[in-house]
Amino acid sequence: MGQSRSCYQRKTLQRTGNQAEMKFSSRRRKMVVSRNESIEQDDSSEYDRKSEVHSFDDSKMGVKGLLDAGVTKLPCIFLHNQYVSEKKSDPDVTSKFSIPVVDFQGLGNSVAQRADIVREIKNACENWGFFQIVNHEIPSSVKEKVLKGVRHFHEQDSEVKKEFYSRDVTRKVTYNSNFDLLKSPTANWRDTLYCVMAPNPPDPEEIPEVCREALIEYTKYIMKLGITLFELLSEALQLKSDHLKDMECAEGLFITGHYYPACPEPDLTLGLSGHTDSGFLTTVLQDQIGGLQVFHKNQWVDVPILPGALIVNIGDLMQLITNDKFKSVLHRVLAKNVGPRISVASFFRMHFQEGSESRLYGPIKELLSDGNPPIYRETSRKEYVTRLYNKGLDGTSLLSPFKLQKYSKRIYRYVSTSSQHLTVNKL
Ligand SMILES: O=C(O)CCC(=O)C(=O)O
């Protein structure tokens, strides 16, 4: 479905304060979101994406604000032309493939049990780039509290929330809708709270009060789990247990609290476009709504909801330092007509960090040999983070600029096809 066609024949909405007045129009819909919290969908002029994006951003109301204002049809900026026809879950695929689940029960009990867990993680990181863990040590109460805290943040008075609305990546705590809104071709149906929690956490007062305690407590558990995961990954690479920890992979933690409101037209947009994560490793805590999918063997596979589980996935920088042994894999979140869906993604990754910007990351020497020469050049923390912030969810890999020339044919771009699935093309 083309964008202009889907922008026609839509209901328009005009709302001021609590008074909502609906109008119908058969002409192209334009959305205007003004600072005094009124939304006008003006059907008189041409669709001007740039100005709509800026109006939406300037309102600081996020997707939640649109829904609260009574929007029942997606504004054009959210319409995904490419993905809509191919985004559905396919039950056949879901029954054929299942994301590995690793049980951490007995991790410390015996050498043999630990070796089994390491083997399962190695297989998952090499073949899927994703796995779920159960029986990890984060109590249910801590997970529930952080999911609730994130929900409360997004559902509090919009005036309080607006204080945090920013695109300044040097700020430690911000909130906005679509971090790449100003660069990406299409917006996603999602708002996000962002907190840089390590190595230099914000002053507690900088964290929104409604989720402060929950985020600080959750961070302590995730940092501890991160150390365990990096030890297990090191062992899976046949390195010393503390190898990845010594490379400071577990130092930086960036937490995002996503809020995916129920979507009035879920088939026309996505909660989160297909992307790979930029850092070393990510953990995701999701609620009961679902929608996360992983691209595996040219198919989108649903990540099932396992009560108490945490999702773990490999990021681009881990793929780089393991010289492609561990895979950073494309994933996305579908929009749903139920919600809100809350998820808390914890990224072990670098950000702008005082003092250590010149630190270099390249393929780990111990993993290289004549038969396994380096595929990537080294990159400094500064270069990597700068590239990361300059790139949106455009379907290209952040690894591209770091591939050595002779391997550059292995750089991929994910493109849509008219068929059910995505194809992966060489650039
Ligand atoms: O919300 C989710 O389940 C996934 C979040 C995610 O992929 C991300 O934040 O990069």
Which of 282, 288, 289, 314 for mutating ligand 1's site (highest number of atoms within 8 Å of CB)?
282
Residues 27 and 96 in one domain: no
- Ligand 1 centroid – CA 298 distance (Å): 20
Q: Give residue 397's pLDDT.
A: 78
- pLDDT lower than 50: segments of the chain: 1-6, 8-29, 32-45, 411-427
Residues 290 and 224 in one domain: yes
Closest Cα to atom 8, ligand 1: which residue?
A: 345
Which of 21, 52, 79 terminates a domain? The answer is: 79
Residues 179 and 235 in one domain: yes
Closest Cα to atom 3, ligand 1: which residue?
A: 292
- Ligand 1 centroid – CA 385 distance (Å): 19
Range of the domain at 171: 91-422
Q: State the burial class of residue 270 (Cβ atoms within 10 Å of its Cβ: 0-12, 13-18, 19+).
A: buried
Residues 150 and 22 in one domain: no
Residue pLDDT, tens place only, 86-128: 656 677 776 788 999 999 998 988 999 999 999 999 999 999 9
Q: Give residue 83's pLDDT.
A: 57
**Among 342, 335, 378, which Cα is nearest to 360's?**
378
Q: Give residue 232's pLDDT.
A: 98
Residues 161 and 69 in one domain: no
Which of 79, 106, 123 terminates a domain? The answer is: 79
Residues 60 and 147 in one domain: no
Q: Give residue 183's pLDDT.
A: 87
Which of 99, 334, 343 for mutating ligand 1's site (highest number of atoms within 8 Å of CB)?
343
Ligand 1 neighbours by CB, cut-off 6 Å: 256, 258, 272, 277, 284, 286, 292, 331, 333, 343, 345
Residues 216 and 236 in one domain: yes
Residue 1 lies in a domain: no
Residue 342 lies in a domain: yes
Residues 57 and 193 in one domain: no
CA distance 344 to 282: 10
Q: Which residues pair with 299 in a beta bridge?
A: 296
In eight-state DSSP terms, residue 320 is H
Q: Give the CA diameter of the chain.
A: 71
Residues 234 and 132 in one domain: yes
Q: Which atom of ligand 1 is nearest to the CA of 331?
A: 7
Q: Give residue 88's pLDDT.
A: 65
> In Å, how far from its chain's centre is CA 182?
17
Q: Give residue 315's pLDDT.
A: 96
Residue 427 lies in a domain: no
Q: Give residue 43's pLDDT.
A: 45
Residue 2 lies in a domain: no
Asked if 328 contacts 129 with a C-beta cutoff of 8 angstroms, the reply is yes
Closest Cα to atom 6, ligand 1: which residue?
A: 345
Residues 405 and 342 in one domain: yes
CATH number of the domain encompassing residue 191: 2.60.120.330
Instruction: Give me the number of domains the chain comprises.
Output: 2
pTM: 0.87
Closest Cα to atom 10, ligand 1: which residue?
A: 277
Q: Which atom of ligand 1 is nearest to the CA of 345?
A: 9
Residues 188 and 337 in one domain: yes
Q: Give residue 84's pLDDT.
A: 56
Which of 38, 58, 79 terminates a domain? The answer is: 79
CA 180-79-82 angle, 5° bins? 90
